[in-house]
Structure 1
Amino acid sequence: MQLYHHPYSLDSQKVRLALEEKGIDYTSYHVNPITGKNMDSSFFRMNPSGELPVFKNGAHIIFSTIEIIQYIERIAIVSSGGDNIPFSGREVVDWMQKIQDWNPKFFTLSHIPEKYRFYVSKFIRRVVISRMAEYPDLAGAYHQKLREAYETEDKLKNQDVLRRSKEHLIRLLDEVETQLNEAEYVAGEEFSMADVMLIPVLARLVLLNLEDEYISSRPNIAKYWIWVQQRPSYKKVIGKYFDGWRRYKTLIKTWCFVRIRSMLKRY
């Protein structure tokens, strides 16, 4: 089994947390979307959307985050012989879908300083144009990604788009806060795949320095966040890259890569 992912990708974090929680071995391939590695032809031929993560088991390839996690659950059940490993029930799946319905893209980008965002956006567009010239058979798909990049920049100027994304997040967190008033975890008294879906969302808010506004202001979520950070899966998937000083190491490494490639005009 192979997983194409990256620590920056929120959906990748969800899938990796599921793999760690279920104890599933896999081969890891880092594909950094900020440096345009998801536009390399080998990856693009496998997934023309260029989105992460991609889960591959033999000839079976899955792109949907929830479908990947449910597939992982089935593997875990088969591997254990079905002993004491339940499959996510309806309530868990409903919460998974509810959390997945919030798209973090515009919210995240709107909280990144414009000069850095524009610089990276320009770099990625040049990567796409370069790949389009190198691989004319994929030109149509690359052109679609280029159009999406320009559309993203336009939408970031639209205050209604940003407001809707923020309001969606607030509604989700308020519902989670209410739920945690009744149960220890998102979908009940046991840690589940619903928690796997939520943890990266909270981690993203912390990375954007929004913890006080969105987490600490909600007592139940604040307590929950302290608990889940103690899990080995969190420490391996997220904490390793983003806790404390590590976030600066992770981000600076990528920023230097983009700057050097831009100066050398190597896309």
Structure 2
Amino acid sequence: NGLLLYLHNYSFYAQKVILALHEKKIPFKSQTIDITKGEQYQPSFLEVNPRGEVPALRDGVKVIPDSARIIDYLEDNFSNGNHPRLIPQEPSIKQRVNHFRELIDRIPANTVTMGAFYHSEFICKPKLPFIAPVRAFMRAGFEKTAERLTKLAEAMPQYRETLLNKAEDHAKTYKTVKDKEAYTRLLDEVDNTLQEVEDQLFQNKDSSSWLVCPEFTAADVSLTTLLYRLDVVGLSRKFYSAGRRPCVEAYYDRVSTRPSFQATFPTLFYHFKALIGFK
């Protein structure tokens, strides 16, 4: 019956997988899990993915969690004439793709996002969906998440360990995003990563290459999704726009014209529909 992707369209990690699916030209169906309402912790979804996270990919009886594992699964099972590779087979290029993919994927995008909601001095002109009322709503929900997970763990003993572990992880993340010094250190990590990306792109500036090679790769999937998130959350000026990193800025301008980009990230119409239902 084909692939079914459990997602939320504003999930950073779901967006990575959606972008990869479009780049590989793989048809799929989707089922939205409303993470703003805690649907990822409902028993019906925990039966699909006991980790209570989106995205998750169902292929027949198999369920693959975690965006990186899903992309690897797609690469291993859907790479032929109809489905372009995202990880080239040539060893030296493959090594560079894996290097940049791992480098970028180490950035905890959700922590970067939430921290921006608490430290507005770092952001400039955030875009939809992260306008002020949404940021306030997400802060309020974020601050109650650990307590809610603890209560759910008591109500669902079969998932108790998983939910308590998530509550503990969430408490650590909350501590980071509230602490300006800790959050600043995290932003420094982003800065160092994007400087290495800038240096790589500078080497490519006289060619039509993407991050590593002429083909769009899994490293580009990771980079594109990160740059989009930094843009909409209001951190692009800090890291790459307005001449801060001209090669990264030019890359983002170029990648945003790709059909896969336009098919992956929510449209203005989608934002408006989401805001109508926002409470």
1:69/1:194 Cα in 2 relative to 1: closer, same or farther (>3 Å)? same
For residues 93-143 of structure 1, the C-alpha deviation after alignment (integer angstroms, 9 at most, x for no partner) is 221111111112222111115844441124545653564454332233223
Q: How far apart, in 2, do the equivalents of 1:176 and 1:152 lie?
A: 26
* Aligned match of 1:252: 275
Q: Retained in 1: the 8 A contact 2:25–2:82? A: no
1:229/1:158 Cα in 2 relative to 1: closer, same or farther (>3 Å)? same
Counterparts in 2 of 1:1-267, with a 5 A limit? Answer: 1-78=3-80, 80=81, 85=85, 87-88=87-88, 89-113=94-118, 115-122=136-143, 124-125=145-146, 127-128=148-149, 131-132=152-153, 134-183=155-204, 184-216=209-241, 217-238=244-265, 240-241=266-267, 245-246=268-269, 248-249=271-272, 252-253=275-276, 255-256=278-279
> Letter of the aligned partner of 2:77 in structure 1?
I
Q: Retained in 1: the 8 A contact 2:12–2:225? A: yes
For residues 201-230 of structure 1, the C-alpha deviation after alignment (integer angstroms, 9 at most, x for no partner) is 111111112222212111111111111111
> Letter of the aligned partner of 1:206 in structure 2?
D
1:115/1:101 Cα in 2 relative to 1: closer, same or farther (>3 Å)? same
CA-atom RMSD, angstroms? 2.6
1:29/1:75 Cα in 2 relative to 1: closer, same or farther (>3 Å)? same
Q: How far apart, in 1, do the equivalents of 2:199 and 2:99 lie?
A: 16
> Letter of the aligned partner of 2:245 in structure 1?
R
Q: How far apart, in 2, do the equivalents of 1:162 and 1:247 lie?
A: 31
Q: How far apart, in 2, do the equivalents of 1:208 and 1:189 lie?
A: 29
Q: How far apart, in 2, do the equivalents of 1:234 and 1:70 lie?
A: 20
Q: How far apart, in 1, do the equivalents of 2:110 and 2:237 lie?
A: 21
Q: Retained in 2: the 8 A contact 1:34–1:124? A: no
| Structure 2, unpaired ranges of 5+ | 89-93, 119-134
Q: How far apart, in 2, do the equivalents of 1:61 and 1:233 lie?
A: 24
1:125/1:40 Cα in 2 relative to 1: closer, same or farther (>3 Å)? same
> Letter of the aligned partner of 1:41 in structure 2?
P
For residues 5-33 of structure 1, the C-alpha deviation after alignment (integer angstroms, 9 at most, x for no partner) is 21221111111111001111122111232
> Letter of the aligned partner of 1:219 in structure 2?
P
| Structure 1, unpaired ranges of 5+ | 257-267
Question: Which protein has the bigger helix share?
Answer: 1
1:87/1:224 Cα in 2 relative to 1: closer, same or farther (>3 Å)? closer
> Letter of the aligned partner of 2:156 in structure 1?
Y
TM-score in terms of structure 1 length: 0.82
Q: How far apart, in 2, do the equivalents of 1:246 and 1:81 lie?
A: 31
Q: How far apart, in 2, do the equivalents of 1:211 and 1:125 lie?
A: 30
Q: How far apart, in 2, do the equivalents of 1:218 and 1:49 lie?
A: 37
Q: What is the aligned residue count?
A: 250
Query: Identity, % of aligned pairs?
Result: 24
